[in-house]
Structure 1
Amino acid sequence: MKVSLITATYNSESTINTCMESVLNQTYKNIEYIVIDGVSSDGTLSYIEEKSKAYPQIIYSSAKDMGIYDALNKGIEKATGDIIGLVHSDDFLADNNVIETIVNTFKNENADGVYGNLHYIAFENTDKVIRNWVGKQFRPKLLTQGWMPAHPTLYLKKDVYEKYGTFNLSYKIAADYDFILRIFKQPQLKFYYLPKTIVKMRVGGASNRSLKNIIQKTNEDYRAINANEIGSWKTILIKNVSKLKQFIS
C-alpha cells in the first residue's frame, strides 16, 4: 500500500528539519511525501528544495494559500497513495516504525481509518510531555459526548476523502472537527484505534494561542455539531472539560 504524507509549511524554518526527518527515516519505504508551502520568507523553502534533491519521493510546491486547511486540501488533491496522513510542520512522527505499524493495521483490520495517541510537547524541549492525548476505540455515541480522535494521528484511505470531501474552508480553526464529525458519523466506515503514540506535537496551535481564538474555536465547534446534526452545547462543554485529564495523565 502506498502512503501519501502531507506537510503544510509557512515560515517553518525552526521545525521543518525535525518534521521532514521523521518522515524520511521511516522503515516503511512506499511513501510519497507532499510538502505544500505558503510562500515562506525564511529558509523553509530552501531546506525543502535541498532535501528534494536527495529524496525523490518529496513532491513540493510553493504558492499563496488561504491558510493551513487550504494547503492541506491542495496536498490531498495531489496525493496518489492508498492511505493519506498529515504531518504538520511543527510536529514529528513519534518513531521510525509508525507508518509501517499503521499500514499493517489497515491490512489486518480492513479499516477505512486508523488513529492513535498523541503527545503535546514543549516547543524547545521535545522530551518534555505537557499533555497526553490517549484515544479509545470508536463508538458512535462518543461523538455526542464531544469526543474526537487526535486529528494529526488520523490516517484515512484516499477514497474516504474522495467520497466525503476535504476541509471546509469556511471554518478558520475547527475545519478538522467538522471533517471528523462528517466522516465518523458514517455507519459504513470502519475506524480502528491503534494504542500507540503516533505524533509528537509542539504546543502553541492556532486554536489555543489567545482568548479570541478559544472563543472562535468554541463557536466554530458549535457550528460544526449543528451542521452535522450531532449533539448540543452540552457536547461542547464535555469536549472542553475532557481535555483536563490529558494534562494529569
Structure 2
Amino acid sequence: MSSAPANLTTIGTLGAGGGVSAPGSSPTFSPLYQQIKALITQSLQSGEWKPGELIPSEVELANRFKVSQGTVRKAIDELAAENLVVRRQGKGTFVATHHEARAQYRFLRLMPDSGEPHNPDNKILEVKRLRAPAEVARLLDIKSGDSVIFIRRVQSFDGAPTIVEELWLPGLIFKGLTAERLVEYKGPMYGLFETEFGTRMIRATERIRAVTADEETAELLKVAKQTPLLSVERVSFTYGDKPVEVRRGLYLTDRHHYQNELS
C-alpha cells in the first residue's frame, strides 16, 4: 500500500512517506494546520511532552514540520481552545494538566449559588474490581465481563453531602488503583489518573435528567426520600477518542446549580 500524500488528513499513524492517515478509513483532505495539529497531538499522546511541560516554540515546531510559523500558530490555537495546551504570556505554551486549578473545574460543573466555587471533600465508600456490566462495557468500548475498577464516593461542600458518585474504569489501565491510594491522594482524582496511570481526560459527554432520591441515596445525602436530584451520566475520553471512564452522579441542587458554557 502506498503512503498517504502530504495533504491527507493526519488523524492516525505516521506513514512511511511522511503522510498520516487513519487506519482503515478512506483518505480525506484537510487543511495543513489541521495536519500539524494532529502531529502535535500524536506527540502529546505518546508522552514526548509530559503534562505541565513546556513544548517547543512555534519557530522550533515550524522548522520541525517544515511549515510556516503561522500554520503552527493556528494549530496551537485550536489545541489551546480544546484545553490540550495552555499559553502563558511571556513563558510559552505548556501541556495542559489536571493539576492546574483552572482545569479542575472543566469537569466539575456544579457551582454554588453564592460564594466562590471550590473543590469538594471526598469520602470513599468502596473500591473494588468487578466484571463489567453490559451497559458499562458498551460505554467503555470493552467486552462485557472484562475487568473494571468500581468506585463509589460521596462529595461534600462545606460539610454538606452534595454528590453521590459511582465510577467505572477499565481494569487494564487502572491496575493497582486502591481505596487506600484514593484516600491518601489529596489532589484532584483526574490528576491522580494523569500522574500515576498515564491517562489524561481530554473531553467528556454527559446526559442529564431529573430524578428523585431513593432510600439509600437519601441517607447518604442526608435528605428526605424522593428529594429532587440531578442525575448526570458522564463518559470521559482520552487521546484518540478512547473512553476511559463512566461516571454516574446524583447531585443535590438546593444550594448549587449545574453550569455550562455554550458557544
- Normalising to structure 2: TM-score of the pair? 0.26
- Structure whose residues are more often helix by fraction: 1
Give the structure, 1 or 2, with the largest relative contact order (CA under 8 Å, sep 6 or more).
Answer: 1
Larger Rg, first or second structure (1 or 2): 2
